[in-house]
Amino acid sequence: MNRLFFLLIPLLLSGFIHLWNPVGYPDVFFDEGIYMRRALNLLNTGNPQEGNVYDHPYLGQIVIAAALTVTNYSDFKPSTDPESLQSLYMIPRIFMGLLAVLDTFLIYKIAQIRYG
């Protein structure tokens, strides 16, 4: 019981921090738009490279494109309303929040193995 309690505390805190308000705070950042554009380009063309210059690793956009494919993200049709456009970022942000919770769990297990 005690071990489960000490495992749930960091997971609940991480889940609260990363998943409480995925659209409202923090505001949409410039890099998120770049990775979303590249992930959608990968979905549309099948090519992770946008131009002649290699400036970002492909893994991020491939993983995001895979998550968008699983959720049928291309079927969402936004209106011109800013809140609707901002809500399009909810699926990728929730996905990244779930990855952050998973990272917290992995760090907890690594620390548990390393330090007992």
Q: In b/e form, how buried is each residue of 2-27, taking b as 16+ CB within 10 angstroms?
A: eeeeeeeeeeeebbeebeeebeeeee
**Cα gap 42→50, rounded to integer Å:** 9
For residue 84, the model assigns a pLDDT of: 61
Range 53-65 average pLDDT:
83
Tokens of 93: 């942000």
Q: Output the pTM of the full model.
A: 0.70
Q: Count CB atoms within 10 A of the CB of residue 39.
A: 23
Range 49-62 average pLDDT:
81
User: Where residue 24 falls among pLDDT bands split at 50, 70, 90?
Assistant: low
For residue 97, the model assigns a pLDDT of: 83
Range 18-24 average pLDDT:
73
Q: Nearest Cα to 27, choosing from 77, 83, 71, 70?
A: 83
**Cα gap 37→17, rounded to integer Å:** 26
**Cα gap 116→2, rounded to integer Å:** 14
User: Where residue 37 falls among pLDDT bands split at 50, 70, 90?
Assistant: confident
